[in-house]
Amino acid sequence: MTNIKHHLTDDLLMSYAAGNLPEAFSLVVATHVSLCDECRARLASYEAVGGAVLYEAPCCAMSEDSLAATLLRIAEAPQDAVPARATGAPGLFPQPLRDYVGGDLDAVQWKSVGGKVRQTVLPTSKEASVRLLHIPAGTAIPDHGHHGMELTLVLQGAFQDEGERFGRGDVEVAGEDLEHTPVATPGDDCICLAATDAPLKFNGLIPRMAQPFLGI
């Protein structure tokens, strides 16, 4: 995918390669990497380094029933714990995201969060949360800061933030030092995949009042 200007950090790619990211962040990373040749190549190099480290590591003794115990856990896992794989022609969502949604854009069950902005929260582990956001063109997200990290990946349209434009495939990495008011640019409505590991810090009274009900 060309024209991607905003990429994942080395720390995020290394953590993803090592399996240390929360599921919500891993989904954003996997979706971005499926769109971005540069980050996919960087990830492959970190995975190669990790493989070399494991190869050189000393062997560890395993119990005699390790394989049987692993196969038993797989067999006993609930069937609905495995995301349904979407089939058919490629659409807006890359495959990692289609697996979580169970399809493409038309399979999303949106809920209003006010100001014509809609969201749907995807089921992941409790360490962090991830949601799809549908932001009408020209609409601003309320001014806010962060108690932790926020990863926002653009899937359709674009948004403007801090003098930078984020289009399809671009990812914004926001930390506790950033307060901002992203605005969806004119044209197509902006659809984003956003993961957070802590609640946002909204500066306006109304967003703060609504926050507990929206889970943001």
Global confidence as pTM: 0.79
**What is the reported pLDDT for 175?**
85
Q: DSSP secondary structure string, the chain?
A: ---------HHHHHHHHHT-S-HHHHHHHHHHHHH-HHHHHHHHHHHHHHHHHHHHSPP----TTHHHHHHHHHHHS-GGGSPPPP-SS--SS-HHHHHHHTSSGGG---EEEETTEEEEEEP--TT-EEEEEEE-TTPBPPPEEESS-EEEEEEES-EEETTEEE-TT-EEEE-TT--B--EEPSSSPEEEEEEESS-EEE-SHHHHHHHHHHT-
Q: Encode pLDDT of 54-98 as tens digits.
A: 545 677 777 878 888 888 877 775 554 333 343 444 689 999 999
Query: pLDDT band for position 184 (50/70/90)?
Result: very high
Q: Which domains does the chain have, with CATH numbers?
A: 1-86+93-216 (2.60.120.10)
Residues 32 and 42 sit within 8 Å (Cβ to Cβ): no
Closest CA to 155 of 141, 142, 172, 140: 172
